[in-house]
Amino acid sequence: MIPAFLTLPAWRRGAAGLAAAALLAACASQTGASKHFDVDAFLRASDTALPEVLANPDFLAATQASANDCAVLLQSVSSGVLEGLPPTGSERGPAWLLHPAGAPAQVWLVVSKNGGERTCHGPLPADAMKALVARAST
């Protein structure tokens, strides 16, 4: 028997995968490091800078999606648009913001690790991340 999910058109499977990833990330943000780390306050603080966001282990742990969910986000052509972030001079590789289709108030942070592995963090408030990117670009 074919699971009902696989009978959906490809674009609907991608959207469903994105929704599932967002739901899982939201659930994950209620456990572990996120109990002790206020993601929203950290991103909106006037003294927070983009390099700090990309290198802060507590923030990254509190917002990290599973490897499976990240793969779904990055492999689906209908997930959204990737925006390259300005170089931060850190030892990490490049980073991007994924602007999900149909969710303008949210973004996902995609971070490269040494060795080419990428991790996804979010969903994050788009306005706060855009402000951090704007400050880093000037």
The pLDDT of residue 78: 79
Question: d(Cα 4, Cα 105) in Å, to the nearest integer?
Answer: 30
Global model pTM greater than 0.75: no
Query: How many domains does the chain divide into?
Result: 1
Reported as a single tens digit per residue, the pLDDT across 7-51 is 445 544 455 454 444 444 444 444 444 458 999 999 999 999 999
Question: d(Cα 35, Cα 39) in Å, to the nearest integer?
Answer: 10
Range of the domain at 84: 4-137
In sequence order, what are the beta bridge partners of 100? 80
Question: d(Cα 80, Cα 99) in Å, to the nearest integer?
Answer: 5
The pLDDT of residue 90: 62
The pLDDT of residue 98: 94
